[in-house]
């Protein structure tokens, strides 16, 4: 092993370097400008994220291991990094009006958004337990602060405390599991872990470690029974942060999950597959049933996002290249539908209206027809109705499960989607069939209009013409080591 | 004379970890819960260093240093968050966290 780093190592993390530099630039510019120029920071952040995306493009078909086995720069990482950057871009677009209304400190806000994105990017390409830990914490610590960003607001305080305590608790469990895996294998590299552990007998310690890693990651993706933080945090956090949290942190945690289990522990699949099977079923069912009775939109979307984590776990259970591809497709499509729905909720927040109750959506169609129509698409997509993107995503997940022989899991998934339609359609009923809610007029700032357009375009375009996305996801999924064995002839 | 093996350290760290978990479950003061979490992270460190000794390489110790750094970062942010909570609520009892209930 060569000592020190080479220039190639720095080239390989170019997007991350751009993002880090950009985040620091945002902080500096924040100090140099007066408070009235908050919108400038928004556009600067937007520029930093776009530059990162540009710097990322040359790595679309890279497949190397950088920084002495700490990072994998491959198609899998590329795909997830695109997801994170898209999420951050749309979140930043929808934040500016919210920051204005809530009188937030824009500089720190955007800086933390960029830090969280940076952490996610390292989570996606980390193939060493230490790198994954650092990525996870860079993201999580930024999110702890963001969740409590409305300092005078009690709900926001509570959200931050709950998220912090349960996040740190789950980190302890996850790390204990990781330390056990390290102890048994003598390596922290995920790929070496696979070879070192494959030949060992299955000691009780190994199983304990595995269960703890599953539980720790279960907390991060908000799988039932480790979900209790999610509804409170989603409800209390500032709405754009909730949006970013529900999409970005979930995608990053799933990237980490796939790296650890598909690359690091593929030979233990017969142990973790049943665990994820149970988690998937319980998560889908509890999430959907709890969402039925919610009157707060953010809380409803929180339970809905728990249910979606359940659907995504189906892809893990499938344990095939197709399952991984389906998860990646679903996560990308989820960016558009979930962020779109949250963008509409952010619009409801005005000077005189908190706007996160379901009744605040009443008569939205008569007040702001375009927003109501967009929301209709997002709800149909989240519910999985064709021809929206959500249908395509679910179709791929369920077909991956059936292909791997998990017929009943797919059936439970479909039944759950049917249940979920009730609460998604209820939103539509409120928008079309109720008396208009009170409060000042609802307006979309230009950046908010762009965010909504992007989200709507994603939902519609990928619902009708998903083929390029499928092809990209399939190629990317195959770069994930460990599932190579399962690669077959995949037909469209 | 009893030789101290890796197993002894593992028992110590398991005990430490369980004390931490029980502390998180039963204590009501947010600061004490946070201290219990720190106990869990330190159990991880004991584990890592013991394994590092067993394998005769330094990887586990490096890991432990990173865990300590992460725990410090979390403590800085966490105490800030708890302070913000205290300013609004005048309490650090977790049972008083009841603005949001389903």
Residues of chain B contacting residue A205, judged by C-beta atoms under 8 Å apart: 10
Segment A251-291, tens digit of pLDDT? 999 999 999 999 999 888 989 999 999 999 999 999 999 99
Segment A124-141, tens digit of pLDDT? 999 999 999 999 999 999
pTM value? Answer: 0.95
pLDDT at A201: 84
B17–A133 CB contact, under 8 Å: no
A273, A325, B42, B44 from A487: Cα distances, Å: 18, 11, 42, 37
Domain containing A239 equals 7-478
Residues of chain B contacting residue A116, judged by C-beta atoms under 8 Å apart: none
Identify which of A152, A172, A187 has the shortest CB distance to residue B44: A172
Separation CA A407–CA A314 (nearest Å): 11
A154–B99 CB contact, under 8 Å: yes
* Beta-carbon contacts of residue A254 (< 8 Å; ≥ 6 apart): A221, A312, A327, A331
Average pLDDT over every residue of A328-354:
93
Residue written as token pair 């005769």: B56
Identify which of B17, B34, B88 has the shortest CB distance to residue A176: B17
**Burial of A2 (C-beta count, 10 Å sphere; 0-12/13-18/19+):** exposed
Q: Does B34 touch chain A (CB under 8 A)?
A: yes
Segment B42-101, tens digit of pLDDT? 999 999 999 999 999 999 999 999 999 999 999 999 999 999 999 988 888 888 887 776
A299–B30 CB contact, under 8 Å: no
Query: All domains of chain B, ordered by start, with CATH?
Result: 6-96 (1.10.287.3510)
Segment A413-433, tens digit of pLDDT? 999 999 999 999 999 999 998
A353, β-bridge pairs:
A350
Residues of chain B contacting residue A150, judged by C-beta atoms under 8 Å apart: none
Average pLDDT over every residue of A368-386:
93
pLDDT at A492: 32
Residue to mutate among B48, B62, B72, with most A CBs inside 10 A, is: B48
Average pLDDT over every residue of A326-344:
95
B93, β-bridge pairs:
B29
φ, ψ of residue B16 to 5 degrees: the values are -60, -45
Segment A88-102, tens digit of pLDDT? 999 999 999 899 888
- Indicate whether A483 belongs to any domain: no
Residues of chain B contacting residue A133, judged by C-beta atoms under 8 Å apart: 63, 66-67, 70
Average pLDDT over every residue of A109-131:
96
Q: Does B9 touch chain A (CB under 8 A)?
A: no
Closest by CA position to A74, among listed A249, A191, A187 = A191
Average pLDDT over every residue of B15-29:
95
Q: What's the number of CA atoms in the CB half-sphere (13 Å) around residue B53? A: 13
Q: Does B81 touch chain A (CB under 8 A)?
A: yes
- Indicate whether A486 belongs to any domain: no
Separation CA A315–CA A331 (nearest Å): 11
Residues of chain A contacting residue B55, judged by C-beta atoms under 8 Å apart: 186
Compute the Cα dihedral for B30, B31, B35, B41 and give only its sign.
Answer: positive
Q: Tell me the percentage of chain A whose pLDDT exceeds 90.
A: 73
Residue written as token pair 């993390």: A13
- Structural domain count of chain A: 1
- Indicate whether A77 belongs to any domain: yes
């Amino acid at each position: 092993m060569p000592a020190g780093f080479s220039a190639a190592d720095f080239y390989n993390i170019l997007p991350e370097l751009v993002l880090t530099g950009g985040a620091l630039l945002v902080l500096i510019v924040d100090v140099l400008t007066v408070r009235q120029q908050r919108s400038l920071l928004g556009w600067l952040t937007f520029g930093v994220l776009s530059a990162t995306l540009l710097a990322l493009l040359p790595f679309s078909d890279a497949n190397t291991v950088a920084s002495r086995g700490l990072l994998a720069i491959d198609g899998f990482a590329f795909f997830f990094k695109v997801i994170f950057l898209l999420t951050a871009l749309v979140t930043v677009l929808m934040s500016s009006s919210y920051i204005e209304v809530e009188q937030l400190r824009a500089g720190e806000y955007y800086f933390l958004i960029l830090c969280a994105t940076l952490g996610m990017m390292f989570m996606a390409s980390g193939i060493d337990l230490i790198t994954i830990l650092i990525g996870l914490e860079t993201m999580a610590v930024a999110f702890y602060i963001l969740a409590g960003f409305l300092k005078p607001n009690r709900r926001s305080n509570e959200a931050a405390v709950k998220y912090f305590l349960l996040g740190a608790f789950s980190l302890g469990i996850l790390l204990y599991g990781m330390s056990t895996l390290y102890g048994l294998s003598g390596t922290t590299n995920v790929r070496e872990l696979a070879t070192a552990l494959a030949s060992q007998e299955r000691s009780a310690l190994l199983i304990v470690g595995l269960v703890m890693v599953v539980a720790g990651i279960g907390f991060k993706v908000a799988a039932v029974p480790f979900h209790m933080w999610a509804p409170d945090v989603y409800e209390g956090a500032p709405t754009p942060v909730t949006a970013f949290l529900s999409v970005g942190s979930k995608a990053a945690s799933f990237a980490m999950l796939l790296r650890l289990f598909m690359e690091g522990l593929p030979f233990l699949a017969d142990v973790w597959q049943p665990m994820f099977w149970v988690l998937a079923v319980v998560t889908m069912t509890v999430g959907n049933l709890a969402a039925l009775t919610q009157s707060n939109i953010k809380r409803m979307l929180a339970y809905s996002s728990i249910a979606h984590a359940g659907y995504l776990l189906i892809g893990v259970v499938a344990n095939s290249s197709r399952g991984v591809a389906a998860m990646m497709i679903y996560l990308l499509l989820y960016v558009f539908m979930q962020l779109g729905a949250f963008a509409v909720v952010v619009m409801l927040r005005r000077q005189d209206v908190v706007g996160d109750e379901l009744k605040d959506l009443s008569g939205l169609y008569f007040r702001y027809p375009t927003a109501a129509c967009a929301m209709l698409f997002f709800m149909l997509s989240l519910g999985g109705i064709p021809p929206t993107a959500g249908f395509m995503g679910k179709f791929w997940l369920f077909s991956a499960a059936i292909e791997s022989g998990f017929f009943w899991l797919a059936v439970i998934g479909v039944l759950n989607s049917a249940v979920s339609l009730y609460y998604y359609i209820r939103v539509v009923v409120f928008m079309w069939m109720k008396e208009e809610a009170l409060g000042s007029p609802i307006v979309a700032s230009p950046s908010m209009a762009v965010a909504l357009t992007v989200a709507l375009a994603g939902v519609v375009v990928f619902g009708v013409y998903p083929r390029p996305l499928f092809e990209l996801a399939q190629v990317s999924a195959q770069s994930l080591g460990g599932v190579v064995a399962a690669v077959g002839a995949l037909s469209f | 004379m009893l030789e101290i093996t890796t197993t002894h350290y593992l028992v110590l760290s398991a005990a430490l970890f369980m004390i931490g978990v029980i502390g998180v479950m039963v204590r009501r003061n947010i600061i004490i819960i946070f201290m219990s979490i720190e106990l869990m992270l330190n159990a991880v460190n004991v584990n890592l260093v013991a394994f590092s000794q067993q394998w005769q390489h330094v990887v586990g110790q490096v890991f432990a240093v990173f865990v300590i750094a992460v725990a410090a970062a979390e403590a800085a942010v966490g105490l800030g968050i708890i302070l913000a909570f205290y300013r609004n609520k005048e309490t650090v009892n977790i049972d008083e966290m009841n603005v949001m209930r389903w």
